[in-house]
Amino acid sequence: MAGGKKKSFTLPSKLLKTLSSIWQDKHMVLFKAEYTFLVTAVLWFLEIGINIWVIQKVAYTEIDWKAYMDEVEGVINGTYDYTQLKGDTGPLVYPAGFVYIFTGLYYLTDHGQNIRLGQYVFAVFYLITLLLVFRIYHRTKKVPPYVFFFVCCASYRIHSIFVLRLFNDPVAMMLLFGAINLFLDGRWTLGCALYSLAVSVKMNVLLFAPGLLFLLLCEFGLWKALPKLSLCAAIQLVLGLPFLLVNPVGYVSRAFDLGRQFLFKWTVNWRFLTEDVFLSRYFHLVLLSAHIITLVLFALKRWKRSGNSIWSILTDPSERKETVHKLNIIQTVLVLFTSNFIGMCFSRSLHYQFYVWYFHTLPYLLWSGGVKKLAHLLRVLILGLIELSWNTYPSTNYSSLSLHVCHFIILLCLWLNPTPALPSQKLDNKAKRH
């Protein structure tokens, strides 16, 4: 009985102590990373109301939803030749995972006719994405809590992409952030499976692949990483099998078309170029070369600890002669986010819905830079200029140039970030078993 009374008083006393600590630090709640959970919880519940308000008060704009429904309807009607599947905006150019997920949405929304229900489904996707993103920031404690207001409530474009446009990009990114959370928990096999599923919705997720490959090699070595890489490939094969059996070349060339030509009128990042240069294959090769070179430089000079040879990460961890640093959650997230960001910097074209590809990663990248004197206000200003660039429609020479300037500053700060010291926050030991 006495023990029960003691227990009953312990919880309220701890709660009171926590509340007292928060009250004493009330002026610093928005600036101390240890209050990330508190601030993000408040913002997440606030976002429920914001999404309902946006859906009810702001007009829906039809762009790709009807085309998505036409494309999956073709599959439902028995067409498995990818070259024959199309919507009113063009042919189907997404992998098979997209078809299955949007087939589910097709039936859920009364053959795509119940747009309002579709908007609420995407609002749920948005809230799940925020939960996953906030968990990453809570685990890393890298960014001051006040920044999370800009990660959610302040972005008109991101709300529009989710609940006013119903693009497939948010679905892919939701799965991707789920995979990253699994990586941080040390569940690499399950994380790789979810990552591959994200790729099957839209292949922009492949921009994270170089970073993921580096992390897998660091953690497992080449031979133990191969089963996880094979799992990623097998999932793509299984999902695409009904289409591969009918027209394998048609499926691969449409679903994974790396040479797809984009329209100049939609570009956000290259408006200051002439259309001839924008469409030039030589220009595309220059961007691809710059992308690969930058990735290699970051892998060799920034992701890898100085003193370790690149060959050391290929060997089994138990057989390594050199001490290869263990992964920590801060480094894991930084490598993945940087890998994606480099791809964004050298993209042949960025359309408005592509903003969601890196929007939630930008604060982490800005607060991970090596320029310690880069003031908080300047970081917020960079976030604001990027948001303004993506909200300028149609894009202008100035909006495109300002976007590239912001990208360059972030990339430079990441380059100046010193190679991380031995980590104090290691991934879960169960990573070795998964």
Condensed to tens digits (0 to 9), the pLDDT of residues 184-199 reads: 999 999 999 999 999 9
What whole-number percentage of the chain has pLDDT above 90? Answer: 74
Which H or E run contains 87? strand 86-87
| Residue 86 dihedral angles phi and psi, to the nearest 5° | -155, 160
Q: State the Cα–Cα distance between residues 177 and 196, nearest whole angstrom.
A: 12
Copy the structure tokens of residue 291: 């992308």
Q: Is the peptide bond before 91 cis (omega within 30 degrees of 0)?
A: no
Residues whose CB falls within 8 Å of the CB of residue 387, separated by 6 or more in sequence, listed in order:
150, 154, 155, 157
Which H or E run contains 391? helix 376-391
Residues whose CB falls within 8 Å of the CB of residue 355, separated by 6 or more in sequence, listed in order:
157, 158, 161, 268, 390
Copy the structure tokens of residue 248: 């394998």
DSSP H stretches of helix in 269-317: 275-279, 281-298
Residues whose CB falls within 8 Å of the CB of residue 389, separated by 6 or more in sequence, listed in order:
268, 395, 399, 400, 402, 403, 406
Q: State the Cα–Cα distance between residues 124 and 129, nearest whole angstrom.
A: 8
Helices (H) and strands (E) in the chain, counts: 17, 2
Residues whose CB falls within 8 Å of the CB of residue 144, separated by 6 or more in sequence, listed in order:
30, 31, 32, 33, 367, 376
Q: Give me the pLDDT at residue 220, please.
A: 92
Per-residue pLDDT of the chain (434 residues; tens, 9 = 90+): 444 444 444 556 655 565 566 555 666 788 888 889 999 999 999 999 999 999 999 999 999 999 999 999 999 999 999 999 999 888 999 999 999 999 999 999 999 999 999 999 999 999 999 999 999 999 999 999 999 998 888 888 999 999 999 999 999 999 999 999 999 999 999 999 999 999 999 999 999 999 999 999 999 999 999 999 999 999 999 999 999 999 999 999 999 988 888 889 999 999 999 999 999 999 999 999 999 999 999 999 989 876 667 777 877 777 766 555 556 899 999 999 999 999 999 999 999 999 999 999 999 999 988 666 668 889 999 999 999 999 999 999 999 999 999 999 999 999 987 654 434 445 554 444 45
Confirm if 187 and 203 have CB atoms less than 8 A apart.
no
DSSP H stretches of helix in 141-266: 148-151, 156-159, 169-184, 188-199, 209-244, 248-255
Confirm if 44 and 137 have CB atoms less than 8 A apart.
no
Residue 91: strand, helix, or coil: strand
